Amino acid sequence: MSLAGKHILLGVTGGIAAYKAAILVRHLCNEGAEVQVVLTQGAAQFVTPVTLQALSGRPVRDDLWDQEAEAAMGHIELARWADLILVAPATAHFMANLAQGAAPDLLTTLCLASDAPVLLAPAMNQAMWRDAATQRNAATLAADGKRLIGPDDGEQACGDVGPGRMAEPEALLDAVRAAFQSPRLADLNVLVTAGPTREALDPVRFLSNHSSGKQGYAIAKAAADAGARVTLVSGPCGLPAPANVECIEVTSALDMHEAVQARAAEQALVIGVAAVADYRPAAKAPQKIKKERAAQNDASVALVENPDIIASVAALPNAPVVVGFAAETENALDNARRKRRRKGLDAIVVNDVSDPKIGFNSDHNAATLIWADGEVELAYQGKEALAASLIQHLANLFFPSSGEGAGALAKPTPLSVAQSGRS
């Protein structure tokens, strides 16, 4: 999608990644956007207004009290001018101010005064990003409707390694483009399963796995952002339900199966992200199992197979589009291709959970989306970004005519032959 004629207000705050703002301005202008750069005082220590003015073709704004600039376009006028505000990099200090609703400078004032969507690209030292206060502020900003892109994981300017690198300018450009796309799943019902299941052994013990729910919740959020009515059926993971998502909390695979079956008929799309236990204890002991049981040579647990939740949905007459996930540790692609066919799924998303940087309980993931006629890689990125990208691909593949802006997006680039439509 072109950004021709779109008014982008690019806020730059004081972090080393500020130098990448110049590349970003260039990308945005190349797409036809009109870019107004607003620098904080800190940002001006890292990148000069002259550079950004030359690239954007507009005088850079950096002062709420600049009478000359205010006379040309007052800050409220500027806030109204913006179709979208992107703050890249967004420092911990800037995020703290914004989360508090504090407006000590021009950029925070513009963010408060504007009705435009606000995208933030956090960038800071990994310890600052992990700090409880920053995480609290990030959660507040997300709950307030600001979209956080990144941060990425990796080597930092200070020599540390970890999460806190600003997302690359190309990823930010994608996010800006996506923000202008019409809702792709408008008015469709989408059900997402997420988190682990717990299979009770006795009143105090259970069998489970390491799923945190992060990937499933991110997908539920991305589907809601794409205009769908989303039901999230979640195993125990303690995450807050995303805005505009109905969350049904369950514990065991049988509970999840029942909750999904009860709602399957009204769904257009079911995405199984949950790490469902394949087996459960044949019987739950009524009382806590005593240690002495082992001494009596009775420490084994008989297991019975759980129903396959998504395969059952795929087998329904008039089944919705059903997309599964495959958590693999070896021969990931081949195993996933077989799993898709065996379960009768329209598509499957395979992630290699032997890599500790992705999959279970990490904030990042990398995956391949496989459908009957094609495959597309979803590169290593934050789980939210991967979720947004997956939803766009699924919309293109299975709901090409839904949403006002249908067709505006490029089709997924296939690794093999790709065709739209159900298998």
| 8-state DSSP, 18 | G
In whole angstroms, the minimum distance from the beta carbon of 74 to ligand PMT comes to 45
Q: Yes or no: say if 97 and 62 are a contact pair by the CB < 8 Å rule.
A: no
Residue among 229, 247, 246, 228 nearest 238 (CA): 247
Task: Outline where DSSP puts E strands in 189-277.
Answer: 189-194, 199-200, 206-207, 229-234, 245-249, 269-272
Stretch that binds ligand PMT, among 31-39, 59-67, 240-248, 304-312 (CB under 6 A): 304-312
**Number of CB atoms found within 10 A of residue 302's CB:** 8
DSSP string, 116-137: S-EEEEE---HHHHHSHHHHHH
Between CA 273 and CA 345 the distance in angstroms is 13
Using CB under 6 A, which of 324, 374, 382, 412 touches ligand PMT? 324
Q: Yes or no: say if 213 and 237 are a contact pair by the CB < 8 Å rule.
A: yes
Closer of 83 and 384 to ligand PMT (Cβ): 384
Q: How many CA atoms lie within 13 A of 156 on its CB side?
A: 21
Using CB under 6 A, which of 13, 56, 351, 368 touches ligand PMT? 351
CA dihedral 416, 179, 176, 268 (to 10 degrees): -20
Q: Yes or no: say if 109 and 115 are a contact pair by the CB < 8 Å rule.
A: no
Closer of 34 and 352 to ligand PMT (Cβ): 352
Closer of 204 and 315 to ligand PMT (Cβ): 315
Q: Yes or no: say if 35 and 4 are a contact pair by the CB < 8 Å rule.
A: no
Q: Which of 111, 158, 237, 247 is catalytic?
A: 158
The answer to whether residue 310 forms part of the interface with ligand PMT (CB under 6 A) is yes
Between CA 366 and CA 353 the distance in angstroms is 10
The answer to whether residue 253 forms part of the interface with ligand PMT (CB under 6 A) is yes
Rg (CA), the chain: 24
| 8-state DSSP, 328 | E
Closer of 155 and 278 to ligand PMT (Cβ): 278
Work out whether the CA dihedral 128, 132, 133, 136 comes out positive or negative. positive
Amino acid of residue 106: L
Using CB under 6 A, which of 160, 170, 266, 278 touches ligand PMT? 278
Between CA 88 and CA 97 the distance in angstroms is 15
158 is a catalytic site residue: yes
In whole angstroms, the minimum distance from the beta carbon of 245 to ligand PMT comes to 16
Using CB under 6 A, which of 105, 152, 225, 308 touches ligand PMT? 308
Amino acid of residue 385: A
**Number of CB atoms found within 10 A of residue 363's CB:** 17
Q: Given its phi and psi angles, is residue 406 left (phi above 0), alpha (psi -120 to 50 degrees) or beta?
A: beta
In whole angstroms, the minimum distance from the beta carbon of 314 to ligand PMT comes to 10
Using CB under 6 A, which of 140, 361, 420, 423 touches ligand PMT? 361
Instruction: Determine the size of the site formed for ligand PMT (CB under 6 A).
Output: 28
The answer to whether residue 211 forms part of the interface with ligand PMT (CB under 6 A) is yes
Site for ligand PMT in 33-92 (CB under 6 A): none
Using CB under 6 A, which of 15, 235, 272, 412 touches ligand PMT? 272
Between CA 282 and CA 263 the distance in angstroms is 27
In whole angstroms, the minimum distance from the beta carbon of 352 to ligand PMT comes to 9
Closer of 44 and 200 to ligand PMT (Cβ): 200
The answer to whether residue 94 forms part of the interface with ligand PMT (CB under 6 A) is no
The answer to whether residue 306 forms part of the interface with ligand PMT (CB under 6 A) is yes
The answer to whether residue 214 forms part of the interface with ligand PMT (CB under 6 A) is yes
Closer of 51 and 208 to ligand PMT (Cβ): 208
Closer of 91 and 212 to ligand PMT (Cβ): 212
Stretch that binds ligand PMT, among 3-11, 64-72, 112-120, 274-282 (CB under 6 A): 274-282
Closer of 242 and 272 to ligand PMT (Cβ): 272
In whole angstroms, the minimum distance from the beta carbon of 411 to ligand PMT comes to 24
Using CB under 6 A, which of 88, 353, 388, 395 touches ligand PMT? 353
The answer to whether residue 327 forms part of the interface with ligand PMT (CB under 6 A) is yes
84-90 sheet: strands from edge to edge: 34-39, 7-12, 84-90, 118-122, 147-148
Binding site for ligand PMT (CB under 6 A): 193, 211-216, 253, 272-276, 278, 306, 308-310, 324-327, 339, 351, 353, 359-361
- The set of catalytic residues is 158
